Structure 1
Amino acid sequence: MTQYLKWMAAVFLAVPGLVFSADGPLSPQEARSSLQVPAGFRATLFAGEPDVVQPMSITFDHRGRMWVVECRSYPSWRPAGTKEGTDRILILEDTNHDGEFDQRTVFFDKGVNFSSIEYGFGGVFVTAIPHLIFIPDANGDDVPDGPAQILLDGFDLMAKHNVANGLTWGPDGWLYGCNGILSNSRIGKPGTPDADRTPMNCGIWRFHPVRQEFEVVAHGTTNPWGLAFDDRGEAFLTNCVIEHVFHVVPGSRFKRMFGQDFNPKTFELMQTCADHIHWAGGTWEGSRDGTGKHGEAGGGHAHSGAMIYLGDQFPAEYRNNLFTLNIHGQRLNRDKLERKGSGYVARHQTDFAPSSDKWFRGVCVKQGPDGIYFTDWSDTGECHNYEEATIHRDNGRIFQVAYGEQRPRAVDFAKLTDRDLIDMLGNRDGFLANHARRVLHERATNHTLTPAAVTQLTQGFASVVASEPHSTKALQWLWTLHAIGELSHARLAENVARIKGIADDTLRGWLVRLTMEASKLSPESQTEMAELARMDASPYVRLQLASGLQRLP
């Protein structure tokens, strides 16, 4: 019996009396029971209808609370200029840490075309097609301080399932997002003349929350609906139809499903970093049911969401694994990311939490304070073919998967001192370290970061590098220094001189990358970088140099 058939049999045996309905979905609790998790793990229903419907995107705030986008607009996106819609933002909190929410707040209930959300800087950022908006809540009372602010416009409203999505914080303090191949967008701040806008369809973009700058990070693929960063700060997108994962290096130009890259003189488009696909060959259309040989290979061609597990609760083999939801295969695909040359290779691992619920349509997966969480749109058919007559808008589920004994993480980062947050940068759990870094960035932006904290970070960095050169702590300190503006022009020469003496090539590469992001690189620094290109044997450092060259005039 194949592995696929074994776990499918286990699902049915584990759920007595489980029956599929041809007319409707399983109940939320039945859907939870249909999930088959490995030994030692447990799945709980964090939330389900009627408490949550159409959960398209989730994120977590500094208190560990979940923020949810309920997208009721799709598939009939509201016309540009629509003032009020029915999309909502919920706040769900699990105060007793049993894996199920027990407090629910409706933060916003008149949303238009909401597709993703990220929390930070005194409010929430939302892709609200054709806009990127910010809904302020500076005092944290869970009530918007005023109307949404439009930060960007020009994302294509006619792209249906290819719209902008996937907001997530990068380690460099920028807000990252995805865009699809049918989304022929021209992006800029409101009022930007068309000639000054940035053209984009499929690929990855980013927005700086303080300077309010926009730029394209990488072009290509098909319809990316997931982006995640590993503990070394490397980005990976997940994709549909063609291969499912690509290593995102700034300036990348990836293989496309169709169409011409924006630079017609590109010598060769970059390929996937995966050594496999999740269907058994042939045309991607033939893998849509996610069963049989396609089920054995991983479930099919369509993927949504991306999470790289950076916690310390799961067994060690799961750390830095990429998880993505296989939409038609009703499961999470799991890839091990291994360094190879200047890049990575993604190797298929045993699929995670397969469901026997034929209505399961996973969309978003995130690491939370006490496990991983993923959303279930709960519908049938092809998500890109939904019509008003067939879509089901009154259901949806969010599941939590945890390992071992529950270990509550009741941390409110806003209440921690600067020193506490700096100490947290060394925590092996990326959920904690990344939130600490973001809060330090916010305090620096609001001018509430103490001079003592800035001194501790700037003067202590060298000792951290000397004592723990290969640690994620050294990287977190570096990213924090960059975010708070302490890798300024005045320090560029110091940074360049420091690079050569660092043992860890990832740290050297990141110093190169952040240095070359400066808008004005002195002739002396350019000379140093040229020497580094000649002398540094690390393929990773050379990759960062090649990437950075695209930023030079």
Structure 2
Amino acid sequence: MKKNEQRLSRYFLLLHLLVCIVYFSSCNNKGSVKEIKQTAKTDTAGFTEEQKHLPENALKGLTVAEGLEVHAFATEPMLKNPTNIDVDERGRVWVCEAYNYRPAVNGNPTNALGDRIMILQDNDGDGKADTAKVFYQDSSLNAPLGICVLGNKVIVSQSPYVWILYDDNNDDKADRKEVLFSGIGGNQHDHGVHAFTFGPEGKLYFNMGNEGHTLKDKNGKDVLDQDGDVIGPKKYKQAMVFRCDLDGSHVECLGDNFRNPYEVAVDSYGTLWQSDNDDDGNRGTRINYVMQNGNYGYTDEMTGAGWQANRTNVEDSIPLKHWHLNDPGEVPNLLQTFAGSPTGMVIYEGSLLPAQFHNQMIHADAGTNVVRSYPVKKNGAGYTAEIVNILKGEKDPWFRPADVTVAPDGSLIVADWYDPGVGG
């Protein structure tokens, strides 16, 4: 079977069952999240490579945290190559597809009609999608990386644009498309604009990677920050995090000097968290608490020099050198997660999963084939955190979780790009 025929993009609905057993197991384990055991699904031993990649065997190579079960919600042909997902107020799953991702690099087939925004719905409550609607498809939609659904408005992020799609007559079809922002990096650039998140005070939060460089309005005019300055490399370094009103006005830059954060997660108190990708292969990926106006050290704050330049008080290893962590004024990392390709993140504010995940980050890392949480504890003026795996492709290296979100019942929805290499 050819690689392109094996790209079985998949979704998983992660349900929490056996609440009492998990609760008592946690007590018996003295509350230590590190002692929570992992349980594997049925093994794929004896399967051919072709059999391993069939949708009906999709879950058998995954290891799931104790007390949780994983079920397939939707598979191809309902959807293909999901990059980002959202759940609306009706519990429907919206999928941002990127089937046309980098064909010149990877030699993959493309769809001349363009990529799609899909709506998946479970009509009978059995935990599986029954219908799949195409909300929008157009040749201009070319490997988008972010989706945020707000009533009849759908915000789609695809460098160099951020679009708003409007469903004016509520028929689940986009009636018109407007530009919200423009001028953000180049077409199909992974280090451009990423997904939008709706905050507790009614504002939008978003970020962009270090190839975004500028932020312009729908008319191509420079967007000004909270101080009235142009958002661009004269004032800000590398990747940035933003907040704005729903119409794109009153843009604030909340932090800069990241490399390539994929999605900013906002809790109900307005606290921001995100992951950041290193220079590929240098084991420097990280998790950050986003402190307003913070400098996050991907390049030298004063000179703009890269992390490989010699400097006073240089750190003792590449993963630490990477972020200028010994330089005065750098916001410290919450966690170093070393190798990986971090992607979507959400704050879990439900109550269905075990208590250790309540009000905590849940994060997809496509590079390490894992969905995990980072339970946070206060530590002086800052925080410490540790890593708890939730879903891992230990027996299935093709498992590439690109995003994770929360359903109305508190279960998790995970988008699986499904490929032997990141973005392959």
Same fold (TM over 0.5): yes
Structure 1 residue 336 corresponds to structure 2 residue 375: yes
Alignment correspondent of 1:417: none
Alpha-carbon distance in 1 for matches of 2:269, 2:126 = 31
Matches within 5 A, 1:125-136: 125-136=155-166
Q: Is the 8 A contact 1:188 1:214 kept in 2?
A: no
Aligned partner (choices 309, 315, 329) of residue 348 of structure 2: 309
Aligned partner (choices 165, 172, 182) of residue 201 of structure 2: 172
Structure 1 residues 26-58: Cα deviation after superposition (integer angstroms, max 9, x where no partner): 122312222222333211111111111010010
Alignment correspondent of 1:505: none
Alignment correspondent of 1:97: 125
Secondary structure of the equivalent of 2:356? helix
Q: Is the 8 A contact 1:219 1:261 kept in 2?
A: no
Secondary structure of the equivalent of 1:178? strand
Aligned partner (choices 345, 351, 368) of residue 389 of structure 2: 351
Alpha-carbon distance in 1 for matches of 2:276, 2:222 = 32
Q: Is the 8 A contact 2:370 2:392 kept in 1?
A: yes
Alignment correspondent of 1:142: 172
Structure 1 residue 85: deviation in Å? 5.6
Specify every segment of 5 or more residues in structure 1 that has no aligned partner in the other structure, as ranges: 78-83, 280-299, 384-390, 392-553
Alpha-carbon distance in 1 for matches of 2:179, 2:414 = 28
State the identity %: 24
Alpha-carbon distance in 1 for matches of 2:48, 2:289 = 39
Structure 1 residue 121: deviation in Å? 5.0
Q: Structure 1 residues 42 and 382, CA, compared in 2 at 3 Å: closer, same or farther?
A: closer
Alpha-carbon distance in 2 for matches of 1:140, 1:238 = 35
Specify every segment of 5 or more residues in structure 2 that has no aligned partner in the other structure, as ranges: 1-33, 105-111, 279-283, 306-326
Structure 1 residues 310-350: Cα deviation after superposition (integer angstroms, max 9, x where no partner): 111112122022121222321112210122333322222x3
Q: Is the 8 A contact 1:226 1:306 kept in 2?
A: yes
Q: Structure 1 residues 85 and 330, CA, compared in 2 at 3 Å: closer, same or farther?
A: same
Q: Structure 1 residues 249 and 171, CA, compared in 2 at 3 Å: closer, same or farther?
A: farther
Q: Which amino acid counterpart does residue 127 of structure 1 have in structure 2? A: S
TM-score by length of 2: 0.74
TM-score by length of 1: 0.57
Secondary structure of the equivalent of 2:205? strand
Larger radius of gyration: 1
Matches within 5 A, 1:380-529: 380-383=420-423, 391=424
Q: Which amino acid counterpart does residue 353 of structure 2 have in structure 1? A: F
Aligned partner (choices 250, 255, 260) of residue 223 of structure 1: 260
Q: Which amino acid counterpart does residue 166 of structure 1 have in structure 2? A: A
More helix by share: 1
Structure 1 residues 98-144: Cα deviation after superposition (integer angstroms, max 9, x where no partner): 22111211100112342111011531011122111111113321122
Secondary structure of the equivalent of 2:190? helix
Alpha-carbon distance in 2 for matches of 1:144, 1:47 = 23
Q: Structure 1 residues 141 and 305, CA, compared in 2 at 3 Å: closer, same or farther?
A: same
Alpha-carbon distance in 2 for matches of 1:55, 1:327 = 12
Aligned partner (choices 232, 245, 249) of residue 291 of structure 2: 249
Structure 1 residues 400-449: Cα deviation after superposition (integer angstroms, max 9, x where no partner): xxxxxxxxxxxxxxxxxxxxxxxxxxxxxxxxxxxxxxxxxxxxxxxxxx
Secondary structure of the equivalent of 2:249? coil
Q: Which moved more, 1:59-68 or 1:199-208?
A: 199-208
Q: Which amino acid counterpart does residue 71 of structure 2 have in structure 1? A: T
Structure 1 residue 278 corresponds to structure 2 residue 346: no
Q: Structure 1 residues 189 and 207, CA, compared in 2 at 3 Å: closer, same or farther?
A: farther
Structure 1 residues 254-273: Cα deviation after superposition (integer angstroms, max 9, x where no partner): 121x4657999x95221212
Structure 1 residues 179-215: Cα deviation after superposition (integer angstroms, max 9, x where no partner): 1123323433423159974216412123311463333
Q: Structure 1 residues 374 and 168, CA, compared in 2 at 3 Å: closer, same or farther?
A: same
Alignment correspondent of 1:541: none
More strand by share: 2
Aligned partner (choices 370, 376, 397) of residue 416 of structure 2: 376
Alignment correspondent of 1:154: 183
How many residues get paired?
Answer: 346
Alpha-carbon distance in 1 for matches of 2:303, 2:269 = 29
Q: CA RMSD in A?
A: 3.0
Structure 1 residues 289-326: Cα deviation after superposition (integer angstroms, max 9, x where no partner): xxxxxxxxxxx332111122111111212202212122
Structure 1 residue 198 corresponds to structure 2 residue 236: no
Alpha-carbon distance in 1 for matches of 2:296, 2:287 = 11
Q: Which amino acid counterpart does residue 327 of structure 1 have in structure 2? A: A
Q: Which moved more, 1:56-65 or 1:31-40?
A: 31-40
Alignment correspondent of 2:154: 124
Alpha-carbon distance in 2 for matches of 1:231, 1:194 = 27
Q: Which amino acid counterpart does residue 226 of structure 1 have in structure 2? A: E
Alignment correspondent of 1:415: none
Alpha-carbon distance in 2 for matches of 1:254, 1:304 = 18
Q: Is the 8 A contact 1:159 1:183 kept in 2?
A: no
Structure 1 residues 433-484: Cα deviation after superposition (integer angstroms, max 9, x where no partner): xxxxxxxxxxxxxxxxxxxxxxxxxxxxxxxxxxxxxxxxxxxxxxxxxxxx
Structure 1 residue 252: deviation in Å? 1.6
Matches within 5 A, 1:15-94: 15=43, 17=45, 19=47, 21=49, 26-75=53-102, 86-94=114-122
Q: Which moved more, 1:210-219 or 1:107-116?
A: 210-219
Alpha-carbon distance in 2 for matches of 1:224, 1:339 = 23
Q: Structure 1 residues 345 and 159, CA, compared in 2 at 3 Å: closer, same or farther?
A: farther
Alpha-carbon distance in 2 for matches of 1:159, 1:197 = 24
